[in-house]
Amino acid sequence: MKKLSLFILGIYLSLSALGQSAREVKLPRVDQRVELLSIVFRLAGNPEYNTTDNVNYVKQIHQHFDQFTDHPLIKFAKSLRDSSGIGYDAVMSMAVHLKQPPSLDAIGAFSVGLPDKRWNVATSEKFVSLLKQFYKDAGCKAFFKAQASAYATAEDRFLELFKNLDVNWYYKFFGKSPDESFNIIIGLGNGGSNYGPHLNLPGQQKKVYAIIGSGTFDSTGAPVYGIASYLPTLIHEFNHSFINYLGDDYEQQLRGPGEIIYKKEAAKMGRQAYGEWKTMMNEALVRAAVIRYLYAHETDTLIADKELKQQLARGFVWMRPLVNLLGQYEKQRASYPSLESFMPQIVKFYAGVAQNINTYDDDYLRHCAQLLSVEPFKKGDSSVNAGITEITFNFDKRLDGVRYFFGPGKKGAGHYPKPLGFRFANDNKSIVMKVALQPNTEYQVSIAGSMMRTDDGYAVQNTMVEFKTGEAH
């Protein structure tokens, strides 16, 4: 990995040597607004804010705050979740629209869609009022003071990751400085989830935030930010600052192809919370640029190839030719000094993708593993012996021997065989599921193949296996 030497002055990384004296990339930090709202919606019961991997921190949160679960703020947060879908990035959007504690005033006036379309002026103002009271009632200042050492440890460890980010590459690749300021926040209370809210107020430079979750920890319980796992995410989030405005500028030209492509890939995109074509298109270009970054910095091209196959599995089945197209852009910088100047070629590319999206889909599926058979019965059997203790799932390609994702189908957990364990077999072409079945019961096993991998890096086709056991003997 090539590394950029970062000259750290005070609390920011100066980019003045690049001719960007007005631009700064602030050092990653823990943000009390983010932690506070993560705690609030943990107490409100939002599943996405109730992960338990960060054992030490979660324990401290519950020891301090569980006595406040009946606070008016928490009750209101629950009602917002149930009535308005306030969760995930809507929570983080509110966080970055507030001033730091203890003020917690709105940075700008709330309006329709600000801080997020799931909020409105009335709910936003009531939430902030209750939040200020909660901050006092729940002794939040004392809690954050007690966590200062843990926050400092996270910031120090994340800095080692941040030092591997080649900031120069962005200006070289995109041909311009970003129109937005970029801010990296270390999320400790939001599990391993990452969010990208922004603050865009009239007359001010737009601020984009990458809130990077903490999902891995060492034996002491302190967070670990491994380069292999976290650097692609950091590269990804930084790319948004250079790419999102292009989606806005070319929205009219991209809408037609985007809507056609999204209709085909909506299921996979929806599982990633990409609810419309424009978000999908932005994400695709961001992810393609990540792969170009990896090709430029990694001597081992298998790393970039692995990232490419992950994006194919996520539903971006046109990713390979898009990455190649950006490679052509890199070779023709005399004609295209910036990615913005190259956008007409990307628009043309997407017109072709839209016309051939079924072909892209079919071509990708040919590389994926398929479920060949199930033993000791066949899919759809209605008289399976309830006494069997193992079900073997046979695939047409070798799997990686690491990942398997089996779960309930639409009928729910009551119709999912109770799994007692899994193991790979048959040179990793089979997965054996140890089970305890009940007689006269309909079962469904959903194989989330898009989250599994073959030994050459492709996914497994999503599959549903249904069967019914016979009467007890």
| Number of domains observed in the structure of the chain | 3
Residue 231 has, within 13 A of its CA and on its CB side, a CA count of 22
In a domain, 138, yes or no: yes
Q: CB of 238 within 8 A of CB of 170?
A: yes
Instruction: Note the pLDDT of residue 308.
Output: 93
Instruction: Note the pLDDT of residue 211.
Output: 93
In a domain, 220, yes or no: no
- Answer yes or no: is pLDDT of 10 > 50: no
CB burial of residue 244 (10 Å; 0-12, 13-18, 19+) = buried
Instruction: Note the pLDDT of residue 473.
Output: 62
Pick the last residue of a domain from 343, 366, 389: 366
Rounded CA gap, 372 and 405, in Å? 17
Same domain, residue pair 201 and 277 = no
Q: What letter represents residue 150's amino acid?
A: A
In a domain, 171, yes or no: yes
Same domain, residue pair 338 and 385 = no
Phi and psi of 391, rounded to 5°?
-120, 130
Phi and psi of 352, rounded to 5°?
-70, -40
Rounded CA gap, 35 and 37, in Å? 6
- Stretch 344-366: mean pLDDT, rounded? 96
Across the strands, what pairs with 432?
A: 392, 423
Domain holding 348, by residue range, is: 250-366
Lowest mean pLDDT among 13-27, 134-148, 248-262, 284-298: 13-27
Same domain, residue pair 339 and 403 = no
CATH label of the domain that carries residue 417? 2.60.40.1220
- Answer yes or no: is pLDDT of 379 > 60: yes
pLDDT band at 191 (very low <50, low <70, confident <90, very high): confident
E strands present in 306-462:
371-375, 390-395, 406-407, 418-425, 430-436, 442-447
- Stretch 460-469: mean pLDDT, rounded? 96
Same domain, residue pair 116 and 48 = yes
Same domain, residue pair 385 and 344 = no
Phi and psi of 313, rounded to 5°?
-65, -30
Same domain, residue pair 313 and 454 = no
In a domain, 242, yes or no: no
Same domain, residue pair 31 and 130 = yes
- Answer yes or no: is pLDDT of 16 > 80: no
Phi and psi of 35, rounded to 5°?
-65, -40
In a domain, 241, yes or no: no
Tokens of 405: 């994702």
pLDDT band at 450 (very low <50, low <70, confident <90, very high): confident
- Stretch 349-371: mean pLDDT, rounded? 96
Same domain, residue pair 70 and 189 = yes
Pick the last residue of a domain from 311, 342, 366: 366
Same domain, residue pair 355 and 399 = no
The rounded mean pLDDT for the chain is 91
- Answer yes or no: is pLDDT of 122 > 80: yes
- Answer yes or no: is pLDDT of 209 > 50: yes
In a domain, 315, yes or no: yes
In a domain, 243, yes or no: no
Same domain, residue pair 341 and 401 = no
In a domain, 134, yes or no: yes
Instruction: Note the pLDDT of residue 24.
Output: 56
CA dist 173 → 51, 94, 169, 242, 284 (Å): 37, 32, 6, 10, 16
- Answer yes or no: is pLDDT of 88 > 80: yes
Same domain, residue pair 355 and 385 = no
Pick the last residue of a domain from 154, 189, 213: 213
Rounded CA gap, 94 and 120, in Å? 11
- Answer yes or no: is pLDDT of 7 > 70: no
Same domain, residue pair 55 and 199 = yes
